Amino acid sequence: MDLILIITVLFSLFYLFQINKMTYALCESREIPEEKQPKIYRTVNVLVTILILSFYVEILLKA
Protein backbone atom coordinates (compact mmCIF):
# COMPACT_ATOMS: atom_id res chain seq x y z
CA MET A 1 0.00 0.00 0.00
CA ASP A 2 2.77 2.43 0.94
CA LEU A 3 4.75 1.52 -2.15
CA ILE A 4 1.76 2.35 -4.35
CA LEU A 5 1.48 5.76 -2.70
CA ILE A 6 5.19 6.51 -3.13
CA ILE A 7 5.18 5.48 -6.79
CA THR A 8 2.03 7.52 -7.45
CA VAL A 9 3.49 10.62 -5.80
CA LEU A 10 6.73 10.35 -7.78
CA PHE A 11 4.84 9.77 -11.02
CA SER A 12 2.53 12.69 -10.21
CA LEU A 13 5.38 15.13 -9.61
CA PHE A 14 7.07 14.15 -12.86
CA TYR A 15 3.78 14.30 -14.77
CA LEU A 16 2.82 17.73 -13.39
CA PHE A 17 6.27 19.08 -14.24
CA GLN A 18 5.97 17.82 -17.82
CA ILE A 19 2.43 19.18 -18.21
CA ASN A 20 3.57 22.59 -16.94
CA LYS A 21 6.44 22.58 -19.45
CA MET A 22 3.96 21.86 -22.25
CA THR A 23 1.60 24.55 -20.97
CA TYR A 24 4.46 27.05 -20.99
CA ALA A 25 5.31 26.06 -24.58
CA LEU A 26 1.66 26.51 -25.55
CA CYS A 27 1.51 29.96 -23.96
CA GLU A 28 4.70 30.97 -25.75
CA SER A 29 3.70 29.62 -29.16
CA ARG A 30 0.19 31.12 -29.04
CA GLU A 31 1.52 34.39 -27.59
CA ILE A 32 -1.05 34.34 -24.79
CA PRO A 33 -0.97 37.56 -22.74
CA GLU A 34 0.77 37.44 -19.35
CA GLU A 35 -2.41 38.32 -17.46
CA LYS A 36 -4.26 35.24 -18.80
CA GLN A 37 -1.48 32.74 -18.17
CA PRO A 38 -2.09 32.18 -14.43
CA LYS A 39 -5.70 31.19 -15.16
CA ILE A 40 -4.53 28.72 -17.80
CA TYR A 41 -1.93 27.19 -15.47
CA ARG A 42 -4.46 26.94 -12.63
CA THR A 43 -7.04 25.25 -14.85
CA VAL A 44 -4.56 22.77 -16.30
CA ASN A 45 -3.08 21.94 -12.89
CA VAL A 46 -6.49 21.41 -11.28
CA LEU A 47 -7.62 19.13 -14.11
CA VAL A 48 -4.40 17.12 -14.03
CA THR A 49 -4.61 16.83 -10.25
CA ILE A 50 -8.15 15.46 -10.54
CA LEU A 51 -6.90 12.99 -13.14
CA ILE A 52 -4.05 11.86 -10.90
CA LEU A 53 -6.33 11.50 -7.85
CA SER A 54 -8.82 9.43 -9.81
CA PHE A 55 -5.94 7.25 -11.05
CA TYR A 56 -4.75 6.72 -7.46
CA VAL A 57 -8.24 5.86 -6.21
CA GLU A 58 -8.70 3.38 -9.04
CA ILE A 59 -5.37 1.71 -8.27
CA LEU A 60 -6.17 1.72 -4.54
CA LEU A 61 -9.55 0.06 -5.05
CA LYS A 62 -8.11 -2.66 -7.29
CA ALA A 63 -5.24 -3.50 -4.94
Contact between residue 48 and residue 19 where contact means Cβ atoms under 8 Å apart: yes
DSSP letters for 1-63:
-HHHHHHHHHHHHHHHHHHHHHHHHHHHHTT--TTTHHHHHHHHHHHHHHHHHHHHHHHHHH-
**Across residues 47-63, what is the average pLDDT?**
90
pLDDT score, position 13: 94
Sequence-separated (6 or more) residues with CB below 8 Å from residue 56: 4, 5, 8
Q: What is the pTM of this model?
A: 0.84
Sequence-separated (6 or more) residues with CB below 8 Å from residue 10: none
Confidence of residue 62 (pLDDT cuts 50, 70, 90): confident
